[in-house]
Amino acid sequence: MVTTGIVGSSMPIANGLAWAAQLDGSKRVAVAYFGDGASNIGAFHEALNLAAVWKLPVVFVCQNNRYGEHTTYAKATAAKCIADRAVAYNIPGVQVDGNDPAAMYAVAAEAVARARDGEGPTLIEAMTFRFHGHVMGDADAYMDKAEKQAAIAADPYPRFRADLIARGIADEAVLAKIEQDVEGAIDDAVDFALAAPLPDVAELRRDVFADPSIVPQESYA
């Protein structure tokens, strides 16, 4: 469950998906993603408490990028780290280098196994950074320049790429082919979207309710 247009909304809904998995007796696990800013919203605390009390198969993944909108972590969050907040809900809280895929995998695997075994939720705090402002095109004047430059210099993507080659897991040609395929898929999706016709205004009537006849025509005027 990714975030919606409302910061902090993913956790309560992920609980419902996890409840359904629990009722079904399936081994599915719900994963809720959110940022450090979202951990200051009441819904975070309600959701973690409920998930813990009901032992729901859910993993809460906080991407701590050190800014909530334009405000730094230090100015907005009293907790020393987000993972510490797990203590209040009597669940494991783990801080991990979110820019290290192997470390991230190990932590996530353990959390998912716990959830599947009926032991309830885990809170993972994945430390990361953002290379751009909160809003597309914002000048990010509020971000510390040196901090941002250091984070860009430690970009996890080239680091992981070099690591894969150094460990002999993949060679340059294989990685270049993957990159080319991914970029191609993105280009195709963008081309498809740009070539698609704009929606007909009749779509204002669609999907408000399952039955479009419920709302009278004049209500859309």
Partner 1 sequence: MNATATQDQASTSPAPARTSVLKALNLAFVDAMAANPKVLLLGEDVADPEDGGVMGISKGLSTRFGDHRVRSTPISEQAIIGAAIGASLAGYRPVAEIMLMNFSTVAMDMIVNHAAKLRFMSGGQTGVPITIRMMTGAGIASGGQHGDYFESWFSHVAGLKVVAPSTPADAYGLLRACIDDPDPCIFIENILLYGSSGPAPDPEAKIEIGKAAIRREGSDLTIVSYSRLAVEAVTAAAKLEREGLSAEVIDLRTIQPWDKEAVLASVAKTGRLLIVHEAVKPFGAGAEIAATVAHELFGRLKAPVHRLGSAFCPVPFSRPLETAFVPDSARIVDAAKALCMKVSHEH
Catalytic residues: 130, 134, 142
Q: Are strands 58-64 and 30-35 parallel, antiparallel or unpaired?
A: parallel
For partner 1, the closer CB: 49 or 72: 49
Q: Which of 27, 132, 177, 206 binds partner 1 (CB under 8 A)?
A: 206
With CA atoms as reference, report the closest residue to 142 among 63, 39, 74, 69: 69
Instruction: Tell me how many residues contact partner 1 (CB under 8 A).
Output: 37
Interaction pattern, residues 42-71, with partner 1; x per rule: CB under 8 A: xx--xx-xx--xx-----------------
DSSP lists the bridge partners of residue 32 as: 60
List Cβ neighbours of 167 (8 Å cut-off, separation of 6 or more).
none
Identify the CA nearest to 52 among candidates 83, 10, 88, 27.
88
Helix (H/G/I), strand (E/B), else coil: 96: strand
Nearer to partner 1, 20 or 175 (CB): 20
71-79, 160-168, 182-190, 200-208 -> range binding partner 1 (CB under 8 A): 200-208
Tell me if 19 contacts partner 1 by CB under 8 A: yes
197 φ/ψ angles, rounded to the nearest 5 degrees = -65, 150
Q: Cβ of residue 136: shortest distance to partner 1, in angstroms?
A: 20
Residues within window 93-122 making contact with partner 1, judged by CB under 8 A: none
Instruction: Determine which helix (DSSP H) or strand (DSSP E) holds 126, and give its type and residue range.
Output: strand 122-127
- Nearest distance from C-beta of residue 183 to partner 1, angstroms: 27
CA distance 193 to 166: 38
Q: Give which of 68, 66, 16 is closest to 41, Cα–Cα.
A: 68
- If one asks whether residue 88 binds partner 1 (CB under 8 A), the answer comes out as no
* Site for partner 1 contains 23 (CB under 8 A): yes
* Residue 200 is a binding residue for partner 1 (CB under 8 A): no
Residues that bind partner 1 (CB under 8 A): 1, 4-6, 9, 11-24, 30, 42-43, 46-47, 49-50, 53-54, 206-211, 214-216
